[in-house]
């Protein structure tokens, strides 16, 4: 491979109002500026800038040697990234839609997740796999999945998910700097949401990558969510306030390793927990959260842990997805059930 091209000088100001999609774009750009070993690769990430335009402008500024348009071959993309990581590069792979990740599943779980352990720590695997995930975009089959629980189960992988522009900007950079393989799940239906545009201070000190965070204080019940479900949880907290119900909302942020200490502390205060996720409920992250909370907070619970999730079916056709996805009414119904216990 040719020597990496020299990065252009950054033109960022300290504070910018950004969407989640633009924040990820700027985070990728900053990572490429700071380290010439950072490479972008995936289907249409170069000239097109990705189907969601998240990598827009990167190939123009950094060149085709660092932003690579690949064939439609997820197994090849991940396998190539493994080889690049062995040679000291930090590849960032984009999976165009989360449902396309499964041709690369074997490379991820059998090679990427295992090489550090297999080599007794001699081989690092600083590979980031960006995965646009979740529903709500009116797409066809294989374009609206939530497979994060599958990867959170795999020892050797780390899994995170952003829900806002500030986290999107910082978390992608922190993931790229990590020596461990990280799956970075991005809430694609929120990429370009003007309602979630936020001030991002690019000179700030970011919070730790593998840490959950209380994003709204409350006393009546705890609601924990991640990725696209965080907005639903926050909307429910706002609506519940009109009825005198105070919901504490926690953004999980890290799915593996799970950081549940803030959740335990919150449940010991409120006595109630509702876990929200678009993924099916059986054998899921919400299952793990429910099990761990009853194990650690049993004597604090005033009601069973309730879950509001997608259903245990394949993702439905677009015209039915509004009935499948957790929404404001379903979360508020769970809150009512918990408070009535």
Q: What's the chain's length in residues? A: 341
What is the Cβ-side half-sphere exposure of residue 206, based on CA atoms within 13 angstroms?
Answer: 18
- Give whole-number Cα distances, 231 to 18, 22, 189, 215, in Å: 16, 18, 11, 11
Phi, psi of 239 (to 5 degrees): -65, -40
Please check whether residue 237 is in contact with residue 223, taking contact to mean a CB–CB distance below 8 angstroms: yes
Q: Which one is catalytic: 143, 153, 323, 333? A: 143
Q: By CB neighbour count within 10 A (0-12 exposed, 13-18 middle, 19+ buried), where does 228 fall?
A: buried
Residue given tokens 């709204």 in the structure block: 216
- 143 noted as active-site residue: yes
| DSSP SS3 for 20 | helix
Residue given tokens 């909302």 in the structure block: 249
- Give whole-number Cα distances, 45 to 39, 48, 58, 239, in Å: 11, 6, 9, 39
Phi, psi of 83 (to 5 degrees): -65, -40
Q: Which residues are catalytic?
A: 143
């Amino acid at each position: 491979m040719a020597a990496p091209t020299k990065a252009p000088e950054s033109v960022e100001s300290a504070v910018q109002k950004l969407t989640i999609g633009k924040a990820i774009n700027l985070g990728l750009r900053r990572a490429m500026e700071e380290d010439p070993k950072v490479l972008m690769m995936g289907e249409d990430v170069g000239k097109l800038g990705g189907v969601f335009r998240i990598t827009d402008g990167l190939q123009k500024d950094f060149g085709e040697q660092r932003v690579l348009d690949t064939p439609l071959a997820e197994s090849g993309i991940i396998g190539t990234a493994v080889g690049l990581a062995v040679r000291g590069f930090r590849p960032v792979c984009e999976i165009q839609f989360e449902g396309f990740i499964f041709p690369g599943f074997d490379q991820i779980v059998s090679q990427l997740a295992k090489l550090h352990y297999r080599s007794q720590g001699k081989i690092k695997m600083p590979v980031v796999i960006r995965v646009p995930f979740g529903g709500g975009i009116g797409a066809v089959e294989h374009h609206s999945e939530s497979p994060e629980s599958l990867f959170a189960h795999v020892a050797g992988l780390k899994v995170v998910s952003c829900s806002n522009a500030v986290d999107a900007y910082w978390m992608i950079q922190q993931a790229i700097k990590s020596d461990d393989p990280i799956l970075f799940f991005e809430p694609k239906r929120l990429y370009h949401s003007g309602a979630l545009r936020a001030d991002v201070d690019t000179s700030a000190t970011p919070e730790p990558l593998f840490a959950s965070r209380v994003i709204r204080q409350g006393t009546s019940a705890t609601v924990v969510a991640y990725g696209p479900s965080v907005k639903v949880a926050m909307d429910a907290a706002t609506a519940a306030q009109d009825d005198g119900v105070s919901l504490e909302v926690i953004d999980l942020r890290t799915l593996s390793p799970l950081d549940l200490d803030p959740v335990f502390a919150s449940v010991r205060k409120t006595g109630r927990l509702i876990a929200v996720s678009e993924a099916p409920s059986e054998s899921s992250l919400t299952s793990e959260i429910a099990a761990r909370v009853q194990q650690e907070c049993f004597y604090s619970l005033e009601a069973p842990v309730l879950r509001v999730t997608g259903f245990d079916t394949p993702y439905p056709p677009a015209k039915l997805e509004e009935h499948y996805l957790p929404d404001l009414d379903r979360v508020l119904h769970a809150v009512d059930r918990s408070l009535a216990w």
